[in-house]
Structure 1
């Protein structure tokens, strides 16, 4: 078993050079190779005059090497959750450069003399990292982190879960670009000498494949509720239990627990916290009634008017800080009552969005729901929901308006008429990013009139079939053409790519179009289907699309995507 080494001293009190650090497929990277890669990144960052650099990598070992190289070069690392054009534009305003899978990024450089670095102890009081909130209720906010905050959190995880995780290999469905993934997938394994997988398990089916190739008894899984509530049936053939399962990033539904216990061998260790506060508490619900949260080592809490206050070494100072969560104390810890920051005022009346969502979920019509405030001169609510079988059956039999009215009626007894949602979007699952977070921006994008209202009919890991009602009010029909409107080809391409990005994890950059054909016109009011298929080969991903109806194929083609060079 490896000794625990604090990250500020890792490089000059490192383990044996042959000690395994990470794996990528069948290949193992040892500490000696890793330190050499850190040195190359350190040299590259040392040649830069700027202090702030954004890192975005898909491969976790390359990311870890670049991160330590930047830190030892005295740089502060910014962690974006994606590399969409809008994200990169904002980062250009706040950083001095980029490293990783983005255009014009910094690359590692070998030192001219080839000599070993004289590593120094890192400054615990220096701000080494800037992470971002998920933006679940608005624009994401930047959160600076001192190295001491990160190291205290890693030490708390080892103190609390070190025995369960000792000697295990770390598999993860979450990205290291988020604080949860960074801690559990990179920083904690580096300190504890635990091998981590360089690739992220993007789809639930990937979990089954990874466990089939590994020994579950020597594996821990770092996951999100989005994956744990969709565990594939293939896992039932796994006869051994995982060493441990962790879940964070959002609440794990009670109905997901039986599958976790049966398919993975035990209930996950759920971690409660946020990007702002760091980890606060944990629980493991081996029985459904076990709902109390227990604080992590070093965390002190108190409750005032149901508001949770905490004092933590994971915060920037030692002052008491109020959270946005309502809690009640229990003999074994505390229970969460909901968030206090989801209270809004409509016509001078206080409205709890969380309470409204609970009332909607009490109906048999929805599997998931989220309410958001829509922009405009008048404050109004938008509803985004994933209907249940009963909900979709109501849509099929009586139309979307019937489901709208049923949901408004479910709220009528507890909510003022002025507070009832005015706009509705129904989707197969609430949108989530690589950290399995549902952001405010992603929810708001569903109300963009340019996005088609689509229903998912079939889906596999690399294919999907959707039904689309071509709304006559789509802005794509404006001026195209006034007397006989048709859906432009560019709109069809945008629809195919937009919906594919919601369903699959695709590379950011558009490379080219291939075999594009437009065979029949698509007119307002049409009912069409969209077939999507993806195929990854080398560094490129091909997205094949086909628009169909009862009259045959309307359009087809192939979009080639890849990461920027």
Structure 2
């Protein structure tokens, strides 16, 4: 039976990962993997919720050598996890933080062990490590009692690194992970990933991206390891391709910049259009430069050529986009600055039938209908298959927001399943401008419910990225004779709502004797900016129907002081993206402006 090594690093001193600027070498990685594998409780399925990329990779590899299967759901909402347990009743969770809130039996990956020296026989791990007692304490039905599994793991991780360096091998046809997509009926759909296909996927990606195991690259990712893009392009690319990943997941531009500057070269940034745009915007008006890179990888949404050009200029590195899906993995690449044509990875075949594009062969487990509309381009190969394509759109039901994918059918199922909702429908506006995150809208018939209560219930069922902005309560939905909600009708409702909310002017009422004036400042009272913003957000919430908790202030600038008794007006405009721009004036004088992101 064919098998492949767990990692492709050929000697124990090879660097697998970097954490806080310190190398973690292959020998330590393998030792940590064996220790975690020995500490895992019984149960075939493991949900890997570790946010530290090294802890994730060790837990993933430990699951493989321990003959467990890693579960990678698209969301951790209570409803999704409940459905997950129907698929895997004895599933347990490994996490590295207290705030995961996942309703599964959970053990803790002791991050304290990662800060111990990278040498055998040393341990600064405390005698007692939180073992997650209470409702999430590890209690796998039918399993023998395990005393404080997290404590056991913490005591042994740093103390068992003196074993010989020997890389385990995994059978090619063994299922090592299930990644999940959201089914239209609300039941997560599992997609098996075998080790052999994952290895093949990384090998063809290495060729397509020009990476070399003899000159390993440091991979810095802004995407989580649990996302298919992050899973393939940070963790698997490092383990199978003999590269090295940074254990962090920087989010804010300053943090991303700091991690990149510390990363050894050659180095690559694995990111998304949204994160790249944020990084480049952080340079506007600043006397600063971004670190030079050797490669940029982008995925999860199409990247505009303009943004690609700016990114290549700012980082002095080529930018490659990856095209793929949860079901297929990565299947094509393109150099965005050189055109819109995608190059298929070797072995992947596309077929056009039944109004859809199907992908098969290569590392794809089963033939898969793609959610996007593709157009063949270029010359055909010897078997008559297209090797290039252009992305021309997507099927109407699929939604991709900020790198997360779902379907309108799934969202409709979730909102109508809420008690008190008689009818509902989601709508995706036609706003595909590059760099702009388009937000979903939804219309619901829910007598006796408010927007706030309905959003709170919906938040328990779907990812925050898919929460409707706006959510509009109506008396009835205009279904046609066959009971369908036609997109054109929903668009009419949406346009009506946006037109009524797009622009409005309201009065801000701040009493002359407001207590905030006292002492701010003696002899010349001025309204504190925080009070002014609080009043503005309250008006925006009331005028749009959005709950105050959903009005997130994205930016604010104070231009002139407000003194007691000045009449104030707030002018707001709703943008196609769903963001709300506002200006506050004292008569004609502009005193503040900002943006709210629902």
Shorter-chain TM-score: which interval? Answer: 0.5 to 0.7
Give 1:65 deviation, angstroms: 0.9
User: Secondary structure of the residue that 2:270 maps to in structure 1?
Assistant: strand
Give 1:237 deviation, angstroms: 4.5
Alignment of 1:193-212 (within 5 A): 193-212=242-261
Q: Contact 1:201/1:207 (CA < 8 Å) preserved in 2?
A: yes
User: Secondary structure of the residue that 2:322 maps to in structure 1?
Assistant: strand
**Which of 30, 33, 43 is 2:38 aligned to?**
43
Alignment of 1:29-428 (within 5 A): 29-45=24-40, 48-80=41-73, 83-93=76-86, 94=88, 95-101=90-96, 102=100, 105-106=106-107, 107=150, 109=153, 110=156, 116=163, 121-133=169-181, 141-163=189-211, 166-214=215-263, 218-232=266-280, 233-234=282-283, 237-238=288-289, 241-287=292-338, 290-304=339-353, 307-317=356-366, 320-331=367-378, 333-342=388-397, 357-358=430-431, 367-371=436-440, 374=443, 376=445, 416=488, 419-422=491-494
Q: Contact 2:69/2:177 (CA < 8 Å) preserved in 1?
A: yes
Give 1:119 deviation, angstroms: 6.7
Query: Deviations for 1:447-474, whole angstroms, at most 9, x for unmatched residues?
Result: xxxxxxxxxxx99xxx999834265699
User: Secondary structure of the residue that 1:29 maps to in structure 2?
Assistant: strand
Q: Distance in 2 between matches of 1:218 and 1:124?
A: 30
Question: Tell me, which stretches of 5 or more residues in structure 1 are unaligned?
Answer: 1-5, 346-351, 383-399, 401-413, 427-457, 477-490, 505-525, 529-549, 551-565
Residues 274 and 374 from structure 1, CA distance in 2 versus in 1: closer, same or farther, beyond 3 angstroms? farther
Give 1:242 deviation, angstroms: 1.5
Give 1:278 deviation, angstroms: 1.2
Given the two structures, how large is their TM-score scaled by the length of structure 2?
0.57
Equivalenced residue count is 401
Query: Deviations for 1:358-400, whole angstroms, at most 9, x for unmatched residues?
Result: 5x859xxx944345564559xxxx9xxxxxxxxxxxxxxxxx9
Q: Distance in 1 between matches of 2:185 and 2:314?
A: 34
User: 1:469 and 2:539 equivalent?
Assistant: yes
Give 1:322 deviation, angstroms: 2.8
Q: Distance in 2 between matches of 1:372 and 1:133?
A: 21
Q: Contact 1:53/1:98 (CA < 8 Å) preserved in 2?
A: yes
Give 1:230 deviation, angstroms: 2.0
Residues 371 and 65 from structure 1, CA distance in 2 versus in 1: closer, same or farther, beyond 3 angstroms? closer
Give 1:178 deviation, angstroms: 0.9
User: Secondary structure of the residue that 1:163 maps to in structure 2?
Assistant: coil
Q: Distance in 2 between matches of 1:248 and 1:24?
A: 24
Q: Distance in 1 between matches of 2:182 and 2:218?
A: 28
Give 1:169 deviation, angstroms: 0.9
Q: Distance in 2 between matches of 1:27 and 1:269?
A: 28
Q: Contact 2:181/2:189 (CA < 8 Å) preserved in 1?
A: yes
| Higher-Rg member (1/2) | 2
Residues 227 and 464 from structure 1, CA distance in 2 versus in 1: closer, same or farther, beyond 3 angstroms? farther
Give 1:182 deviation, angstroms: 0.9
Q: Contact 1:279/1:314 (CA < 8 Å) preserved in 2?
A: no
Q: Contact 2:3/2:171 (CA < 8 Å) preserved in 1?
A: no
Q: Contact 2:31/2:160 (CA < 8 Å) preserved in 1?
A: no
User: 1:21 and 2:27 equivalent?
Assistant: no
Q: Distance in 2 between matches of 1:139 and 1:236?
A: 50
Q: Contact 2:303/2:336 (CA < 8 Å) preserved in 1?
A: no
Q: Distance in 2 between matches of 1:373 and 1:137?
A: 18
Residues 267 and 27 from structure 1, CA distance in 2 versus in 1: closer, same or farther, beyond 3 angstroms? closer
User: Secondary structure of the residue that 1:316 maps to in structure 2?
Assistant: coil
Q: Distance in 2 between matches of 1:269 and 1:464?
A: 43
Q: Distance in 2 between matches of 1:248 and 1:174?
A: 10
Question: Tell me, which stretches of 5 or more residues in structure 2 are unaligned?
Answer: 108-149, 380-387, 399-407, 410-425, 452-469, 471-485, 500-528, 556-568, 572-585, 587-598
Q: Contact 1:170/1:221 (CA < 8 Å) preserved in 2?
A: yes
Residue 558 (structure 1) aligns with: none
Q: Contact 1:55/1:100 (CA < 8 Å) preserved in 2?
A: yes
Residue 4 (structure 2) aligns with: 8
Q: Distance in 2 between matches of 1:296 and 1:36?
A: 34
Runs of 4+ with >6 A deviation: 111-115, 134-139, 463-466, 473-476
User: Secondary structure of the residue that 2:391 maps to in structure 1?
Assistant: strand
Give 1:162 deviation, angstroms: 3.8
Given the two structures, how large is their TM-score scaled by the length of structure 1?
0.60
Give 1:314 deviation, angstroms: 2.7
Give 1:225 deviation, angstroms: 1.2
Give 1:503 deviation, angstroms: 7.3
Give 1:63 deviation, angstroms: 1.2
Q: Contact 2:69/2:176 (CA < 8 Å) preserved in 1?
A: yes
